[in-house]
A and B are shown apart, each in its own frame.
Chain A
Amino acid sequence: MTQSDVAKKLIGSWRYIGTRINGGNWNRGANPKGMIYYGPHGEMAVQIAPDVERRRSGPEITPEEAKIALKDYIAYFGTYTVDEQAGTVTHHRHDSLQPGDKADLVRRYEFTGDRLVLRPPNSTMEVTWERIK
């Protein structure tokens, strides 16, 4: 597969299926939702929302409400590049919701039917996505 073939396969949006680590499910509640997008111009964005109640009791969010809302919510965007040799896609983050989140993220990619599995190197974590079509 050439790099452009891989990039072509990535392009589009993908629905979050789930995250596994050490063979078990990463707990984001009963029905977490998410989406990752790879654009044709090298742009990307991802969001994963844990299935929790994000409540606001008043006009101002309390620190406790903010903590709950933010916990494990993934939201970042930027550009991406593919290294076909290594079988990786790198997310060059321009911004991220999570405080202190900076720099690039490298993910090994695997295509299985309509699914895309992304794995951080040197980790047992895998994140599974399904093509939106």
Chain B
Amino acid sequence: MSQSAERLAEFPVCNSFGDVVNERSQSAVQRLIGSWRYVGSSLDGKSQPGRGASPKGIIIYDAHGHMACHVAPDREVTRAGKEPTGEEATAALADHIAYFGTYSVDERAQTVTHHRQGSVQPGDKGDVVRGYEFVGDRLILRPVGTTREVIWERIK
């Protein structure tokens, strides 16, 4: 590598939301940006039951460092009255993921961190860190320290 190329490689670059990143992490951000359709989740290599036959979901990474995630189980959840009862609310929340906030990418660790600003799940606070892997049109997110994986497919 020539000296100038080496200098360039080490030169810190700011991504669109102000984090200092190197050039490779900027490209990981570029690959994340867009929206992704939920395909499924697995634990220990086995697909996870509990979300029904055809759960739906979307995860969004925008160009300005904002993100949102929503995974809805395939389950009929009813509401008898104007406001859901405690039981109906409990059923609606079970296995339902809905949060949003900002995100940042650590290219060295190959992780994306979701800085949650709002989440419907009681007690949900703070950041979640996900290892990311791109496979063709798919994005695999793995909660760090678990054998869980969540598969997404690029919406295009």
- Chain B hits for A76, CB < 8 A: 70
Is residue B64 within 8 Å, beta carbon to beta carbon, of the partner chain? yes
Q: How large is the interface on A (under 10, 10 to 19, 20 to 34, 35 or more residues)?
A: 35 or more
**Is residue B50 contacting chain A, with contact meaning CB distance below 8 A?**
no
Q: For the complex, what is the distance from the CA of A85 to the CA of B70, rounded to whole Å? A: 32
Q: B89 to chain A: which residues have CB within 8 Å?
A: 63, 66-67, 69-70, 99
Per DSSP, chain B at the interface is mixed
List residues 97-127 of chain A with CB under 8 A from any CB of chain B: 97-100
Interface: A61 (CB within 8 A): yes
A62 CB → nearest B CB, Å: 8
A21 to B75 alpha-carbon distance, docked (Å)? 32
Known interface pairs A13-B64, A95-B72. Does A100 touch B122 (Cβ–Cβ under 8 Å)?
A: no
A45 near B122 (CB under 8 angstroms)?
no
Given A43-B155, A67-B89, A70-B93, A97:B72 Cβ within 8 A:
yes
User: Distance (Å) between the CB of A65 and the closest chain B CB?
Assistant: 5
B90, A63: Cβ atoms closer than 8 Å: yes
- Count of chain B residues with Cβ under 8 Å from any Cβ of A? 41
**B98-A75 in contact (CB<8A):** yes
A41 to B87, CA, bound (A): 37
Q: Is the CB of B35 within 8 A of A41?
A: yes
Across the interface, name the chain A residue whose C-beta is closest to B82.
A100
Residues on A with C-beta less than 8 A from B98 are 47, 73, 75, 97
A35→B100 contact, CB < 8 A = yes
Which 4 residue pairs are nearest across A and B when measured between Cβ atoms?
A: A63-B86, A49-B118, A56-B123, A100-B79
| Chain B positions near chain A (C-beta within 8 angstroms) | 34-35, 56-58, 60, 62-64, 66, 68, 70, 72, 77-79, 83-93, 96, 98-100, 117-124, 155-156
29 contacts between A and B (CB under 8 A): A33-B100, A34-B100, A37-B35, A37-B62, A37-B68, A41-B156, A43-B58, A45-B58, A49-B117, A54-B121, A55-B122, A63-B85, A67-B83, A69-B121, A69-B122, A70-B84, A73-B120, A75-B98, A75-B120, A76-B70, A94-B56, A95-B72, A96-B72, A97-B72, A97-B96, A98-B84, A99-B79, A99-B84, A99-B92
